[in-house]
Amino acid sequence: MTKRLIAIALVFGATALAWMILGGSIFSRTHETDGRLKDGVTGLWGGAQIQTAPHASFTEKQTQRVESEDQEGNRKVKLVENELKCLIPLESSQIKTDFDLAHRQKGLLWYATYKVKYAGQYRFVNDSGKARDITISFPFPDKQAVYDDFVFRAHGKEWKFAPTPSGGIVNGVVSLAPGEAVQVEVGYRSQGLDSWRYQFGSGVGEVKNFQLSMDTNFRDIDFPADGLAPGVKEKIATGWRLTWDYKHLVSGANIGMVMPQKLQPGPLAGEIAYFAPVSLLFFMVAMLVIGVMKQIDIHPMHFAFISAAFFAFHLLLAYLADQLEFIWAFGLSAAVSVFLVVSYLRLIFGNRFAFGYAGLAQVVYLVLFSYAFFFKGLTGLTITVGAILTLFVLMQVTAKVNWKQVFEQKQRANDG
């Protein structure tokens, strides 16, 4: 009996090693191709977008006295004329954004690509006390992205100079009398990847009369760890309408949306492969106990073929994951593995053992335990509950088994 258990342990160890190698191979394939594929997706869709609030400024000449000494100790005074950049306040911001999320799969990974429609109205006031030529600058959220239906105009005022995009910023100059306000309208359609943010500025800043409305076509919303939560959440037909509304805010935080991610086929297949030895261990223990209870002699070679069939599930899943929807790849791989085990054991021990015991145990410990990885954050709890229930059942059905007698019988059978 001891030799048999050692042989089974060797089969288990060899299969576990194969799973570790397979899991490492899956993660290696995923990480090696991620950089290349993500660069391709970014080239087509752009990257994560960070929209910064526009600002308005004017330049003023300032004369400064600069004193210096020559080598003989004589003092010299020189007047130097500099241009000083002065900002004028942003009095109000009314922004509306619409997001259309569409995941795209490349290799073993899904990428959260989105389209965004942006429309903003900003009000600036010339509080300098003089008539000024005000330069209004609007930075684009991503220098590499594409902007369709772009609008940049000052309502009620003609641009003194036509707006000119340069270096990721578009600038327009408008003449304002003292105390005069200008309403600037900005709009575009663009697209990005993974996340979108709106920044009030750099560092801690003051924001007045600000409102941003965001419509989504998805319900699984998430916000950056350093972002502000919306004040109002309203369900709409496609997803959510989120609103940030501030009368007078002083903060260094920003507004953002992290796009929901789909289950990633590569990392998920790798995690399932790494966990596979636990599934096989539970299955082997269950089969050994059932063999004792039903007086069925399961040879280590039987376990070797069964282990190979278990391994076939993960091997097939690893190479189907980037060809099919992951749930279909999972289902097909599971069906193939269960078929291999059941059809094999049916020929040796009959239908009842193959379907009623081995097949059911494989579905529970291989298929359902692996499926627990689909439930993000609940995988450990699900498997723990399954393990405890297994322990309970095994303890109940074997409570009256005379293990000493069982091992002695096995030893006598082996000696004979």
The answer to whether residues 366 and 279 touch, using CB atoms and an 8 Å cutoff, is yes
pTM of the model: 0.73
Task: Give the list of residues 6+ apart from residue 94 with CB closer than 8 angstroms, or none.
Answer: 120, 121, 122, 211
d(CA 328, CA 341): 20
Residue 20 tokens, joined: 């570790």
* Each residue's pLDDT tens digit, 72-85: 667 776 766 677 78
Question: Tokens representing 202?
Answer: 């750099």
Q: For position 415, what pLDDT does the model report?
A: 53
Query: Does the 46-56+83-258 domain belong in CATH 3.40.50.300?
Result: no
Mean pLDDT of 181-188: 94
**The total number of residues written for the chain in this structure:** 416
Mean pLDDT of the region 364-389: 85
Structure tokens at 255: 């507004």
Of residues 214 and 415, the one with the higher pLDDT is 214
pLDDT exceeds cutoff 60 at 2: yes
Average pLDDT of the segment spanning 32-44? 70
**How many CA atoms lie within 13 Å of 232's alpha carbon, on the beta-carbon side?**
12
Whole-number pLDDT of residue 181: 92
Q: How far apart are CA 103 and CA 360, in angstroms?
A: 36
Confidence at 292, pLDDT banded by 50, 70, 90: confident
Least confident of 63-67, 186-190, 194-198, 229-233: 63-67
Higher pLDDT: 285 or 409? It is 285
Q: What percent of the chain has pLDDT over 90?
A: 47
Give me the mean pLDDT over the 92-118 stretch: 90
Confidence of residue 387 (pLDDT cuts 50, 70, 90): confident
Each domain of the chain, given as residue ranges in start order, spans 2-36+263-415, 46-56+83-258
